Structure 1
Amino acid sequence: MAKRFNEESPISDVLKQFISQNKLEAGMDIVNVRDAWKNLMGNGVNNYTIEIQLKGSTLYVALSSAVLREELSYGKDKIIKMINEELRKDLVKSLVLR
Structure 2
Amino acid sequence: MAFKKPYNSENSRQSDIVPLKDGIAALLRAYRLQGKLDEVTVVASWERVMGKAVAMKTQQVYVSNSKLFVRLSSAPLKHELFMAKTQVLANLNAEVGSEVIKEVIFL
The 1:33/1:94 distance shift into structure 2, 3 A limit, reads: same
Gaps of 5+ in 1: none
Gaps of 5+ in 2: 1-11
% identical aligned pairs: 27
2: CA distance, partners of 1:33 / 1:76: 15
> TM-score with structure 2 length normalisation?
0.79
Q: Which has the larger radius of gyration?
A: 2
Partner SS, residue 23 of structure 1: coil
> TM-score with structure 1 length normalisation?
0.85
Work out whether 1:21 is the aligned partner of 2:34: no
2: CA distance, partners of 1:36 / 1:64: 19
Which residue number corresponds to residue 44 of structure 2? 35
**Structure 1 residue 43: deviation in Å?**
0.8
2: CA distance, partners of 1:34 / 1:41: 11
**Structure 1 residue 76: deviation in Å?**
0.2
2: CA distance, partners of 1:81 / 1:38: 15
Q: How many residues align?
A: 94
Work out whether 1:51 is the aligned partner of 2:49: no
Residues 1-98 of structure 1 aligned to structure 2 (within 5 Å): 6=13, 7-98=16-107
Partner SS, residue 51 of structure 1: strand
* C-alpha contact 2:39 2:100 (8 A) present in aligned 1: no
